Amino acid sequence: MKLFFKKIARVIVRSAIYAYCKVVYRAEIIGKENIPKDETLIFCGNHRNYLDPPLMVVTVGRHVRFMAKEELRKNPFFAFLGVVFDGIYVKRDSKDVTALKTTLKALKNGESIALFPEGTRNGLEKGEKVKDGAAFFALRTNTKVVPVGISGGLKMFEKVTIKYGSPIDLSNYQEIYKNKETEKQALEDASKLIMDSIIELTK
């Protein structure tokens, strides 16, 4: 019964946020046809402001579990969204084994996840190195990555555009990843491919 009410809450909250994005930010969604309907996926987008996570959640057209920093639980709104959409909270700047295990289990159970490879808002602009979490999860579970480019919407009533690219198959990196001597290089190369694809979609 608990799951039943959560599903109802998801529909209501998703509809409300979608309407908000459409009215306030005139949200334009491009490339939804690129998203496979019945396949476990990892959605990776660029991160600019607070709008990005809910925008992805309500436009992707399927249930996704978002990976977010632990600090967001202090915000009542984002804490509520975390409960409704089964968010996975991560302790930044530490090896959060619990979040890692939860994410791997979700993917192996056929659930899809979403995250930001930049690790923080405007990470690339701040000179931050792209995080290899998405590549790690993709290679570990043999899951395709859907790049997502978000542009505009930095101010109220400014149009926001979200583009979904074609799924990236990282199977070519599997053999390199399995070799301990080249594992790090495989993660770096795969992470760069993911981030480059995201950036291309923001143009």
Question: pLDDT tens across 24-70, in order?
Answer: 999 999 999 999 988 999 999 999 998 999 999 999 999 999 998 88
Instruction: Give me 39's structure tokens.
Output: 């396949």
Q: Report whether pLDDT(74) > 90.
A: no
What mean pLDDT is predicted for residues 9-33?
Answer: 96
Return contacts of 101-105, CB within 8 angstroms, 24+ apart. 103/65, 103/67, 103/137, 104/137, 104/140, 104/141
Q: Report whether pLDDT(1) > 60.
A: no
The pTM of this model reads: 0.93
Q: Mention every residue, 6+ apart, whose C-beta is less than 8 A from residue 112.
A: 40, 41, 42, 43, 62, 63, 64, 65
Q: Which of 69, 115, 77, 65 is nearest to 94 (CA)?
A: 69
Q: Report whether pLDDT(120) > 90.
A: no
Query: What distance in Å separates the CA atoms of residue 33 and residue 61, rounded to the nearest whole number?
Result: 10
Q: Which of 142, 148, 128, 136 is nearest to 99 (CA)?
A: 136
Split at pLDDT 50, 70, 90, the class of 126 is confident
Split at pLDDT 50, 70, 90, the class of 129 is confident
Place of tokens 């979490």: 133
Query: What distance in Å separates the CA atoms of residue 78 and residue 148, rounded to the nearest whole number?
Result: 21
Contact 70, 91 (CB under 8 A): yes
Residue 182 is given by DSSP the state T
Split at pLDDT 50, 70, 90, the class of 94 is low
The pLDDT, as a whole number, for residue 179 is 93
CA atoms within 13 A on the CB side of 77: 6
Q: Report whether pLDDT(93) > 70.
A: no
Place of tokens 């690219």: 165
Average model confidence (pLDDT) across the chain: 92
Q: Which of 162, 166, 130, 132 is nearest to 146 (CA)?
A: 166
